[in-house]
């Protein structure tokens, strides 16, 4: 599928922001005052900025509030509600931590749980799409959750937790790629099943359209295998391996900052591939193999 910059920014930034909110809600770090303000400001900027960027992918951003109306059936609507609840609860918790040095820990626990649920809802937007076999798997929410937890631990300065979480998230990312490479073939979806022409091997007589249209722009994107392998290596090295190596060294704030920058850069590359390598079955109608 077409890797829209707004969706790449949304899933990357919001995952980091809500991951950091999980650790802040659990009291890690347990700082108060201006230090706490800095951590909460970063988390709200990432989570809120990511959610705001997703609106730019809408055909009519002014109708974004309608996302709240379909919570019974839509994971997007559930994400809208849980993200709003998370930011509200964590906002109250932040006020207590920053201005009163108050121990409102039950609010923190609730906010941490809501932040995790929000990330899960985001993941299920993609995992529920049967038309994209690469995404339609239980590994997709596992990937989103482990990546958010690893990034949150890294931003929260929880080195001892960040190292194993980064290693786990990297392993899940690799497993998601390996499974996804054969997902479309294993789904059994072909031009025959799509058209109902089960005798012989049907093929397109001519192109469905004489020019580009919305489906081609959004749903059909082909990335070269060599290019994809190169980006996968960049994502694994920068997103997971290098941050772990930096965290294993004697800690300094500069090394910590470098680990965060490497991680974010690698995750952006991996997220671009998340969309670019996702084969929507409508591509079969346009001759995609």
Which of 106, 115, 120, 70 has its CA nearest to residue 88?
Answer: 115
pLDDT, tens digit, for every residue of 84-117?
Answer: 999 999 999 999 988 887 778 899 999 999 999 9
Is the pTM higher than 0.85? The answer reads yes
Q: Which two tokens stand for residue 250?
A: 């004697």
Check residue 63 and give its pLDDT. Answer: 67
The label of the residue with tokens 């060599």 reads 226
Provide the residue range defining the domain that includes 265.
Answer: 5-286
Structure tokens at 136: 């339609």
Annotate 192-225 with DSSP letters as a single string.
Answer: HHHHT--SS----SS-S-SS--HHHHHH-----H
Tens digits of per-residue pLDDT, 66-89? 777 888 888 989 999 999 999 999
What is the spatial distance between Cα 251 and Cα 248, in angstroms, rounded to a whole number? Answer: 8
Residue 211 pLDDT exceeds 70: no
Per-residue model confidence (pLDDT) at position 69:
83
At 117, which CATH number?
Answer: 1.20.1630.10
**H/E segment holding residue 53:** helix 33-54
Average pLDDT over residues 44-50: 90
Q: How many domains does the chain have?
A: 1
* Residue range 264-288, pLDDT digits in tens: 999 999 999 999 888 877 776 666 6
Cα–Cα distance list, 44 to 35, 125, 213, 262 (Å):
14, 22, 37, 21
* Number of residues in the chain: 289
Mean pLDDT confidence for 190-205: 70
Closest by Cα among 171, 113, 153, 184 to 259: 153
């Amino acid at each position: 599928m077409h890797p829209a910059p707004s969706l790449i920014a949304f899933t990357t930034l919001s995952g980091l922001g809500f991951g950091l909110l999980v650790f802040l809600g659990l009291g890690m770090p347990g700082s108060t005052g201006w230090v706490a303000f800095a951590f909460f400001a970063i988390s709200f900027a990432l989570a809120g900025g990511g959610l705001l960027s997703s609106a730019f992918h809408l055909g009519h951003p002014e109708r974004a509030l309608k996302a709240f109306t379909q919570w019974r059936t839509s994971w997007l609507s559930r994400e809208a509600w849980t993200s709003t609840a998370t930011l509200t609860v964590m906002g109250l918790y932040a006020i207590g931590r920053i201005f009163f040095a108050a121990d409102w820990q039950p609010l923190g626990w609730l906010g941490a749980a809501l932040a995790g649920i929000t990330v899960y809802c985001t993941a299920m937007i993609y995992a529920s799409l049967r038309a994209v076999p690469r995404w339609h798997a239980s590994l997709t929410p596992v990937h989103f959750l482990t990546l958010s937890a690893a990034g949150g631990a890294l931003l929260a300065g929880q080195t001892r937790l960040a190292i194993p979480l980064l290693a786990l998230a990297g392993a899940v990312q690799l497993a998601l790629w390996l499974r996804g490479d054969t997902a479309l073939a294993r789904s059994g979806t072909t031009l025959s099943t799509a058209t109902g022409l089960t005798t012989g091997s049907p093929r397109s007589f001519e192109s469905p359209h004489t020019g580009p249209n919305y489906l081609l722009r959004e749903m059909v994107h082909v990335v070269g295998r060599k290019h994809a392998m190169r980006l996968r290596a960049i994502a694994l090295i920068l997103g997971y391996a290098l941050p772990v190596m930096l965290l294993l060294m004697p800690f300094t704030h500069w090394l910590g900052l470098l680990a965060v920058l490497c991680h974010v850069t690698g995750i952006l590359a991996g997220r671009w591939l998340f969309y670019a390598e996702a084969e929507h079955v409508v591509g079969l109608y346009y001759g995609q193999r």
